[in-house]
Amino acid sequence: METVEAIRSKPEINAMKRHLSPRDRLLFVMGINSAIRISDLLRIKVKDVRGATHLSIREQKTNKPKKFLLNGAIQRELSNFLTAEMTDDEFLFK
């Protein structure tokens, strides 16, 4: 099995973000800033993050509740990604 090295430097992270679509960039930024599993990120709905400063989820794998701050980096990507046409019941990453 191949191993994958973690992206550790800020220039590498910024280079990666430049090559992603707005949706994928938001997914990437939320992932690296929250340490939430992809299975949990994909279940987030627009209403969970629109106007929010924190996000509360129940982890799918462990069934444990988890609350985390939507920090400045996540807030910036959300403001670039969210549109008025998105309904509250839509999945954020569809």
Determine the number of helices (DSSP H) and then strands (DSSP E) in the chain.
5, 2
pLDDT in tens, 20-42: 999 999 999 999 999 899 999 99
- The answer to whether 38 and 31 are in contact (CB under 8 A) is yes
Average pLDDT of the segment spanning 62-78 = 96
Is the pLDDT score of 3 beyond 90? no
- In 2-52, DSSP assigns E strands to none
Residue whose entry in the numeric block shows the structure tokens 């954020």: 92
Say how many C-beta atoms besides its own lie within 10 A of residue 26's C-beta: 23
Element (H, E) at 77: helix 72-81
Query: Is the pTM of the predicted complex or chain greater than 0.85?
Result: yes
* Amino acid type, 20: L
* Amino acid type, 65: P
